[in-house]
Amino acid sequence: MRAPMRFFSDNAAPAHPKVIEAIVASNRLDTAYDGDEWSARLDGAFSDLFETEVKALWVTTGTAANCLALAALCPPYGAVLCHRDAHIEVDEAGAPAFFGGGSKLILLDGPGAKVTPEAVAAACERVRPDVHQVQPHALSITNATEYGLSYRAAEIGELGAVAKRRGLAFHLDGARLANAVAFTGESLADLTWRSRVDALSFGFIKNGGLNAEALILFRTELAEEIAVRRKRAGHLMSKGRMAAAQILALLEDGLWLDNARASNAAARTLGSAAAGRLVYPVEANELFLRVTADEVETLRGQGFDFYDWAPGEIRLVTAWDQQGEAVERLAEAIAAL
């Protein structure tokens, strides 16, 4: 009975059965690398989904997706603006600098890991336009953010506008983009290229996938270079069909969106029970709660697992497969604290 009580991370959840079925179904002889029939369908499938022509490449991790994109969008001698709490700054082991040949992250502040146009403009202003300081070349945001907040399309549009005005390329880390779509009800197109996003790391692994993310390029001319960088980084798998098949399975009949709705719903249930304790509103599948050490002990004693985020604060993450019963039990446990 341990597994259903786990609210530690959506990374820990299993893959959706349809994803596994797709891997099994794709397990037959075909052209190696990305020359197979599944990989060949990605561009079309995502172009349909995004209502514009895109190029799509599979990779096995969000770090790879993010950093391949940033390496193409920012030169080695440039900087990427991002939030101080962004995954690329905090949890990718310096991968942006590795893929980018020594490029820099310039850190922005703001509640809930959200980036504002004002913060972008102010950061640009602080850099002297000379050769002694690293000049900004790109902006990267995360949607939903690392604190579970969802940007609306209008907000991203404003960020896109300031990015273009400042000559910055615009990258979106969409490890939990599905949750943001489910929460806002806005279209993928509005949340990305119509808001001037150039490249998107579209996350599937936290949302029912096994080990496939999609790197979506709205500036399709970047695809050739990034395909080379993917191989050079050891990310071009021999049997890439297994990655493409996973993604296609999640796209079919909107399974990706159903999964996100399920995890969002579980988070909402918990959020309602924890209303007075919420550090941020619940806009995706993550919750940050204020709790005392005693309360933490109580919850753990009841069999719930979660992340000790900071002193007096815990993080709960719900996943696509979170069972109703466990969620209800945790909601009751929180309410009873």
> Interface residues for a copy of itself in 257-316 (CB under 8 A)?
none
The only residue of 83, 114, 171, 235 in contact with a copy of itself, by rule CB under 8 A:
235
Nearest distance from residue 236's CB to a copy of itself, in Å?
A: 7
Say whether residue 248 binds a copy of itself (CB under 8 A). Answer: no
Cβ proximity to a copy of itself: between 103 and 192 the closer is 103
219 forms part of the interface with a copy of itself (CB under 8 A): no
Q: Alpha-carbon distance 234 to 236, whole Å?
A: 6
Using the rule CB under 8 A, give the single segment among 53-61, 149-157, 164-172, 179-187 that binds a copy of itself: 53-61
Q: Which is nearer to a copy of itself, 165 or 231 (CB)?
A: 231
Half-sphere exposure of 213 (CA within 13 A, CB side): 27
- Burial of 303 (C-beta count, 10 Å sphere; 0-12/13-18/19+): middle
Q: Is 1 in the site for a copy of itself (CB under 8 A)?
A: no
Per CB under 8 A, the segment of 26-34, 37-45, 162-170, 191-199 that binds a copy of itself is 26-34
Which region, judged by CB under 8 A, interacts with a copy of itself, from 146-154, 187-195, 221-229, 324-332? 221-229
Whose Cβ is closer to a copy of itself: residue 92's or residue 158's? 92
3-class state of residue 217 by DSSP: strand
Q: Does 318 bind a copy of itself (CB under 8 A)?
A: no
The DSSP call for residue 234 is T
Can you say whether the dihedral through the CA atoms of 256, 268, 283, 171 is positive or negative? negative
Q: Is 98 in the site for a copy of itself (CB under 8 A)?
A: yes
C-beta of 63: minimal distance to a copy of itself in Å?
4
3-state secondary structure at position 43: helix
Alpha-carbon separation of residue 91 from 9, 28, 62, 109 (angstroms): 14, 36, 11, 17
Token pair recorded at residue 134: 């690293």
Binding-residue total with a copy of itself (CB under 8 A): 71
**Choice from 61, 140, 142, 285 touching a copy of itself (CB under 8 A):** 61
Rule CB under 8 A: is residue 84 a binding residue for a copy of itself? no
Instruction: Pull the structure tokens for residue 333.
Output: 């446990």
Q: Distance of CA 213 to CAs 3, 13, 62, 156, 295, Å?
A: 25, 15, 6, 22, 37
Contact string (CB under 8 A) for a copy of itself, positions 104-143, x = contact: x--------------------------xxxxx--------
Closest distance between a copy of itself and the C-beta of residue 55, in Å? 14
Cis peptide before 310, with omega less than 30 degrees from 0? no
Per-residue contact string for residues 166-205; x = within reach of a copy of itself by CB under 8 A = ---------------------------------------x
Q: 68 near 230, Cβ under 8 Å?
A: yes
Closest separation between CB of residue 103 and a copy of itself, Å?
A: 7
94 contributes a contact to a copy of itself by CB under 8 A: yes
Smallest gap from residue 279 Cβ to a copy of itself (A): 19
Tell whether residue 327 is a contact of a copy of itself (CB under 8 A): no
Neighbours of 24 (CB within 10 A): 11
Read off φ and ψ for residue 137, nearest 5 degrees. -125, -15
160's tokens? 């896109």
Question: What is the H or E stretch that residue 172 is in?
Answer: strand 169-174
Which residue is associated with the tokens 């799509």?
A: 56
